[in-house]
């Protein structure tokens, strides 16, 4: 069926309105605290929804239904681990973040270890977050290519991708550049509402299209094992098992929500430590609901296409949901659903731009030019936002040759998360760990995860657990060894 003028109008109207809404916050940014932490004025519920929006990107909306379509609900085991990891972050890391006037997660590392390790952790964040976010931005191209296929018929796939990525990146840059974290948080709230509403509409629309409705879905999907959640096997090569989900998911979330500036920045924007904890824990409940909803959409699509075979073969599961929206949804509703998917993309992209900019300015520029005025730092923060927008655009184009975008994005992030989390654990759980020892442990943990990623079949769900444990043990061990070596050398000199 394809999109018509009404759908295009809905999409264009949404993109313009959300950009104008974000621009409402441009006059309130006078200091770095205003620009990067929204002046600590956002309520806990808005921060909670913003965390959810950052965690459930376009990758979630298009890839998670594809996972259920292709297999079952076993991805939820990872989400159970997400809940466990939030509890760890709330009671282990959040109190440390509110003991000083921090703007980034990596200032905590300097307080505990020193400037060198702070620079190393901040650099690792910048590189891996940019690469992982590039994959998320690529998901926009998949959606737009499916949605505007007929309108862009004269373009090659490469040109379509460039066009779609550029439009969303540019519009997101406009309000993130002007409004900072306040614009990010409040547009997140709006955009999460949009894609939640769109997803619920999709559920009821698919049920309406399936003869017999839910009874038919329950029978066909149930017989095919689509609603299976638990896999208690101990196969290390299996991506989604109860053990890799709960253990790996807990480590993954402890890293992403406790050591990644993307989420930590939102927690630091809370009005108090207590509100940061409430925002973090409540977001876990909402995330579980959202992932369940997206998996349900995948199961519904499985049943729908069993009864009405698709006219074309799906080359990748990421395209199933966007293709269904374009081909089978009523006009107007199709535009709303595509807008919902683009909302998720813009929400996540704005957060990434702001967190990359904050780390660049606070963890590097402010240390190089400590006498720079607040006004100058805010100006350069906006320049850094533009610079990172260009970088993410480039990474998105480079990521075009990858596999399933959800797992690709999680894999890239998880490679770095292990060593980052290990360093933060060394900082908050030990007193004897030294900067040199922690740096050696971090490099070893990172090298191990790169090896797992490139040369083994071990899934990404285990990367953070193995990487952080290696970093922690090696960092502590080398700290002890180097301390005793220094003492021995000192005694010989004496």
pLDDT, tens digit only, all 494 positions of the chain? 567 788 888 888 888 888 888 888 776 667 888 888 888 888 999 999 999 988 877 667 778 888 888 888 988 998 999 999 999 999 999 999 998 778 888 999 998 999 999 999 999 889 888 877 777 777 666 666 666 655 666 677 677 778 777 887 888 888 888 778 888 898 889 888 888 888 898 899 899 989 998 999 999 999 998 999 888 888 777 778 888 889 988 998 999 899 888 899 999 999 999 999 999 999 999 999 999 999 999 999 999 988 887 766 676 777 788 788 877 888 888 888 778 777 777 777 888 888 999 999 999 998 888 888 888 988 899 899 999 999 888 877 776 665 545 556 567 778 888 999 999 999 999 988 999 999 999 999 999 999 998 888 888 888 999 999 999 999 999 999 988 775 555 555 55
Tell me what pLDDT residue 313 has: 67
Smallest CA-to-CA distance from 127 within 394, 358, 413, 319 is with 413
Cα(268)–Cα(279) distance, integer angstroms:
11
| CATH number, span 5-404 | 1.20.1730.10
**Dihedral (CA of 405, 411, 412, 413) sign:** positive
Q: What is the token pair recorded at 380?
A: 């350069």
Task: Give just the sign of the alpha carbon dihedral 458, 464, 469, 471.
Answer: positive
* Per-residue confidence (pLDDT) for residue 490, from 0 to 100: 52
Q: How much is the pLDDT for 81?
A: 92
**Considering the entire predicted model, what is its pTM?**
0.86
């Amino acid at each position: 069926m394809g999109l018509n003028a009404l759908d295009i109008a809905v999409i264009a109207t949404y993109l313009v309105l959300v950009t104008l809404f974000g621009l409402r916050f441009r006059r309130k940014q006078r200091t770095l605290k205003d620009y990067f932490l929204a002046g600590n004025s956002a309520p806990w519920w808005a921060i909670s929804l913003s965390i959810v929006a950052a965690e459930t990107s376009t990758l979630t909306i298009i890839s998670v239904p594809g996972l259920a379509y292709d297999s079952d609900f076993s991805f939820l085991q990872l989400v159970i681990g997400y809940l466990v990891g939030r509890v760890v972050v709330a009671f282990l890391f959040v109190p440390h973040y509110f003991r000083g006037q921090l703007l980034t997660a990596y200032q905590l590392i300097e307080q505990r270890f020193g400037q060198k390790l702070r620079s190393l952790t901040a650099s690792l964040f910048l590189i891996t977050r940019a690469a992982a976010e590039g994959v998320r931005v690529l998901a926009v191209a998949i959606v737009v290519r499916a949605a505007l296929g007929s309108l862009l018929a004269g373009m090659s796939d490469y040109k379509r991708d460039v066009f779609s990525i550029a439009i969303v990146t540019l519009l997101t840059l406009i309000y993130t550049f002007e409004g900072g974290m306040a614009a990010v948080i409040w547009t997140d709230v709006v955009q999460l509402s949009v894609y939640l509403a769109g997803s619920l509409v999709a559920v009821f629309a698919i049920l309406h299209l399936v003869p017999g409705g839910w009874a038919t879905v329950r029978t066909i999907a149930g017989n095919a094992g689509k609603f299976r959640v638990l896999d208690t096997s101990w196969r290390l090569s299996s991506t989604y098992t109860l053990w890799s989900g709960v253990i790996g998911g807990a480590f993954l979330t402890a890293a992403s929500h406790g050591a990644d500036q993307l989420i930590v920045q939102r927690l630091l924007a809370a009005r108090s430590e207590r509100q940061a904890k409430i925002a973090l824990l409540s977001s876990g409940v909402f995330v579980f609901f959202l992932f369940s909803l997206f998996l349900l959409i995948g199961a519904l699509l499985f049943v729908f296409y069993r009864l009405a075979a698709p006219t074309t073969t799906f080359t990748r599961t990421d395209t199933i949901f966007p293709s269904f929206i374009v081909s089978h949804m009523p006009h107007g509703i199709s535009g709303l659903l595509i807008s919902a998917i683009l909302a998720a993309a813009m929400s996540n992209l704005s957060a990434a731009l702001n967190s990359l900019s904050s780390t660049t300015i606070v963890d590097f520029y402010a240390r190089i030019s400590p006498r720079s005025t607040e006004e100058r730092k805010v100006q350069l923060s906006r320049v850094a936002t533009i610079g990172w927008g260009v970088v993410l655009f480039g990474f998105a184009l480079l990521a075009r040759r990858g596999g399933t975008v959800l797992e690709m994005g999680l894999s890239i992030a998880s490679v770095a998360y292990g060593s980052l989390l290990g360093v933060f654990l060394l900082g908050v759980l030990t007193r004897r760990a030294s900067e040199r020892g922690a740096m050696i442990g971090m490099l070893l943990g990172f090298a191990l995860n790169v090896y797992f990623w490139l040369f083994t079949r071990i899934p990404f769900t285990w990367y953070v657990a193995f990487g952080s444990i290696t970093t922690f043990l090696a960092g502590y061990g080398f700290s002890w060894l180097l301390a005793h070596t220094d003492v021995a050398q000192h005694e010989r000199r004496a």
